């Protein structure tokens, strides 16, 4: 490979290595420093690929205002289990699949588009729930523009409802509340609205600014209103993209298909993805062999906010990986290889979990006011609230603690997911992580801190904050 890049004979490269005392065969991997020596020996110029190079290839700056056009919003549905997320997604898909007849056959590719009565196009992520949302975020793919929070009118605001609210807030994504199951005689939509108040979600019916719509996924009542509410929210967000640039997008699903090879569903976020495009996606690369939309039709191109299945990958990427179209196969391969090597280095360095101090330093570097995000789990509601109050009091103009989520009970996988996505440590007060959360925290480098005395907890965090401040002076 090295000989190839230098346009030299492989045998000469091996010979030159031998002269340096490196006994290598043609297919052996040599380290970067040795490679550098060989390159100089041949009188060539060394160009090491770095993060900055990768950035340069995949970043484009031609998104001047004139090139920007409105793009459809991308929506994720969240809420407590059994409150009707799946039913709602199904009902929406059936009412108005874009350009297909209502009730037309759609293929599950992880996302679909619908058209509202007034003509707006909306893209829905077809994987309800929080795990998908957080795992995408933790991989750097902030795909969701709007969260639809589903709450069953015959039930209450439940733990996962609160989790969803906190996820949306942490991601700074606006919410629309869908009060579902309003066809039921036992439905009490106003009770839901009042309960949401306690979680700082003030809906329009309560003179707040969060849109709320009463719906029924079963009868279809209110669905049109919900879709229009989403379209309105999207208008407020003024979402734009430049369809004329090379495409970039996020992988929402990927698998190895027996007949078709690696297949990824990509949500195009900017630009237009076309058949024949060469791209890099995470640690993989490829050339678009075919594009298939949510109605199983082969299409030639996919513009902003369009979900599309991509064939022609050389390996299977992961959900949340970012796809970038590049100019040449050489670039695509080089970036993919660079990323593979970097990921390997990172895995080797793992175990060095992020500490509270490192987080503070990073937060400080990122913005004027350092914000330390934390998650708090406690044994009882009273302690949780007392801790949150105490933590939020810490800080001044420069440092602030931000509690992303707090709750009662053991630390779970969902907590770890949210913590990872936001780079936050999890504080357990008289509770510990369950075993699966423990191993995933370990793997993801999420710091778990256990306390049984509030004073100690507050003191530790204060110390981290003030240490940082004095270092600044």
| Residue partners of 471: CB distance under 8 A and separation at least 6 | none
Going by their DSSP bridges, the two strands 370-378 and 426-429 should be labelled as: parallel
Nearer to ligand GDP, 151 or 288 (CB): 151
Q: Is 65 annotated as a binding residue?
A: no
CB distance 335 to 49 below 8 Å: yes
Minimum distance between the CB of residue 82 and ligand GDP, rounded to whole angstroms? Answer: 4
Q: Is 293 annotated as a binding residue?
A: no
Q: Is 129 annotated as a binding residue?
A: yes
Lookup: tokens for 255 = 């698998």
Q: Is 209 annotated as a binding residue?
A: no
Nearer to ligand GDP, 272 or 414 (CB): 414
Nearer to ligand GDP, 178 or 311 (CB): 178
Nearer to ligand GDP, 152 or 325 (CB): 152
Which whole-number Å values give the CA distances from 447 to 83, 185, 239, 468, in the listed order?
A: 32, 46, 35, 19
| Helix or strand run (H / E) with residue 470 | helix 454-472
Minimum distance between the CB of residue 199 and ligand GDP, rounded to whole angstroms? Answer: 18
Minimum distance between the CB of residue 154 and ligand GDP, rounded to whole angstroms? Answer: 8
First to last CA, the chain: 51
Minimum distance between the CB of residue 88 and ligand GDP, rounded to whole angstroms? Answer: 7
Nearer to ligand GDP, 78 or 376 (CB): 78
Please give the backbone phi and psi of residue 91, each rounded to the nearest 5 degrees, phi first: -65, -40
Minimum distance between the CB of residue 167 and ligand GDP, rounded to whole angstroms? Answer: 15
Minimum distance between the CB of residue 132 and ligand GDP, rounded to whole angstroms? Answer: 13
| Residue partners of 199: CB distance under 8 A and separation at least 6 | 157, 161, 162, 165
Q: Is 183 annotated as a binding residue?
A: yes
How many whole angstroms from its chain centre is CA 211? 24
Q: Interhelix angle for 10-19 vs 32-41, to 10°?
A: 110
**Number of residues assigned to the chain:** 473
Nearer to ligand GDP, 114 or 226 (CB): 226
Please give the backbone phi and psi of residue 67, each rounded to the nearest 5 degrees, phi first: -85, -10
Q: Is 126 annotated as a binding residue?
A: yes
Minimum distance between the CB of residue 175 and ligand GDP, rounded to whole angstroms? Answer: 16
Q: Is 79 annotated as a binding residue?
A: yes
With CA atoms as reference, report the closest residue to 374 among 430, 452, 433, 458.
458
| Site residues (vs ligand GDP, CB under 6 A) | 79, 81-87, 128, 180-181, 183-184, 216-218
Nearer to ligand GDP, 79 or 425 (CB): 79
Q: Is 46 annotated as a binding residue?
A: no
| Residue partners of 368: CB distance under 8 A and separation at least 6 | 398
Task: Say how far apart CA 139 and CA 319 lie, in whole Å.
Answer: 8
Nearer to ligand GDP, 216 or 422 (CB): 216
Q: Is 240 annotated as a binding residue?
A: no
Minimum distance between the CB of residue 156 and ligand GDP, rounded to whole angstroms? Answer: 14
Q: Is 362 annotated as a binding residue?
A: no
Minimum distance between the CB of residue 162 and ligand GDP, rounded to whole angstroms? Answer: 15
Minimum distance between the CB of residue 187 and ligand GDP, rounded to whole angstroms? Answer: 9
Task: Say how far apart CA 220 and CA 139 lie, in whole Å.
Answer: 35
Nearer to ligand GDP, 126 or 321 (CB): 126
Cα three-residue angle 162-165-168, rounded to 5 degrees: 150
Which whole-number Å values give the CA distances from 452 to 187, 279, 383, 409, 458, in the listed order?
A: 41, 51, 10, 14, 11
Which whole-number Å values give the CA distances from 248 to 143, 171, 311, 321, 470, in the listed order?
A: 12, 20, 16, 11, 43
Nearer to ligand GDP, 217 or 252 (CB): 217
Please give the backbone phi and psi of residue 347, each rounded to the nearest 5 degrees, phi first: -60, -40
Task: Say how far apart CA 456 and CA 437 lie, in whole Å.
Answer: 24
Q: Is 444 annotated as a binding residue?
A: no
Q: Is 257 annotated as a binding residue?
A: no
Q: Is 355 annotated as a binding residue?
A: no
Q: Which residue has the tokens 């809906």?
A: 203
Q: Is 84 annotated as a binding residue?
A: yes
Lookup: tokens for 186 = 């036992």
Nearer to ligand GDP, 184 or 260 (CB): 184
Minimum distance between the CB of residue 91 and ligand GDP, rounded to whole angstroms? Answer: 8
Lookup: tokens for 352 = 């060095």
In the annotated binding site, the residues are 79-86, 126-130, 180-183
In the annotated binding site for GTP, the residues are 79-86, 126-130, 180-183
């Amino acid at each position: 490979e090295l000989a190839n890049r230098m346009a030299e004979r492989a045998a000469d490269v091996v010979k030159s290595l031998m002269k340096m005392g490196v006994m290598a065969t043609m297919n052996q991997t040599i380290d970067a420093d040795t490679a550098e020596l060989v390159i100089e020996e041949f009188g060539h110029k060394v160009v090491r690929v770095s993060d900055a190079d990768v950035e340069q290839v995949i970043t484009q700056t031609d998104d001047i205002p004139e090139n920007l056009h409105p793009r459809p919003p991308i929506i994720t549905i969240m809420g407590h289990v059994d409150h009707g997320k799946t039913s709602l997604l199904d009902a929406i898909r059936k009412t108005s699949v874009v350009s297909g007849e209502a009730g037309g056959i759609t293929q599950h590719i992880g996302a679909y588009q619908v058209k509202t009565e007034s003509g707006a196009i909306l893209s829905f992520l077809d994987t309800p729930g929080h795990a998908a949302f957080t795992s995408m975020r933790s991989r750097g793919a902030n795909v969701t523009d709007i969260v639809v929070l589903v709450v069953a009118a015959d039930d209450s605001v439940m733990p996962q409802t609160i989790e969803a609210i906190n996820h949306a807030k942490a991601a700074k994504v606006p919410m629309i509340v869908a009060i579902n199951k309003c066809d039921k005689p036992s439905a009490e939509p106003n009770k839901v609205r009042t309960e949401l108040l306690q979680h700082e979600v003030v809906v329009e019916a309560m003179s707040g600014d969060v849109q709320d719509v009463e719906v029924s996924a079963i009868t279809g009542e209110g669905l049109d209103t919900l879709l229009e509410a989403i379209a309105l929210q999207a208008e407020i967000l003024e979402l734009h993209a430049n369809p004329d640039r090379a495409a970039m997008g996020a992988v929402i699903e990927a698998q190895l298909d027996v007949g078709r090879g690696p297949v990824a569903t990509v949500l195009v976020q900017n630009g237009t993805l076309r058949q024949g495009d060469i791209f890099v996606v995470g640690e993989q690369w490829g050339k678009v062999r075919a594009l298939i939309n949510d109605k199983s039709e082969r299409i030639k191109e996919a513009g902003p906010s369009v979900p599309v299945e991509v064939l022609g990958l050389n390996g299977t990427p992961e959900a949340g990986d970012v796809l970038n179209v590049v100019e040449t196969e050489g670039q695509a391969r080089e970036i993919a290889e660079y990323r593979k090597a970097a990921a390997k280095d990172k895995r080797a360095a793992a175990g060095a979990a992020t500490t509270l101090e490192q987080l503070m330093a990073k937060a400080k570097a990122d913005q004027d006011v350092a914000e330390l995000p934390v998650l708090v789990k406690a044994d009882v509601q009273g302690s949780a609230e007392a801790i949150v109050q105490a933590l939020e009091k810490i800080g001044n103009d420069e440092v602030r603690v931000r509690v992303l989520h707090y709750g009662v009970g053991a630390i779970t996988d969902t907590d770890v997911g949210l913590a990872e996505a936001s780079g936050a440590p999890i504080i357990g007060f008289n509770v510990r992580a369950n075993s699966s959360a423990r191993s995933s925290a370990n793997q993801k480098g999420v710091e778990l801190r256990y306390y049984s005395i509030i004073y100690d907890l507050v003191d530790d965090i204060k110390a981290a904050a003030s240490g940082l401040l004095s270092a600044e002076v």
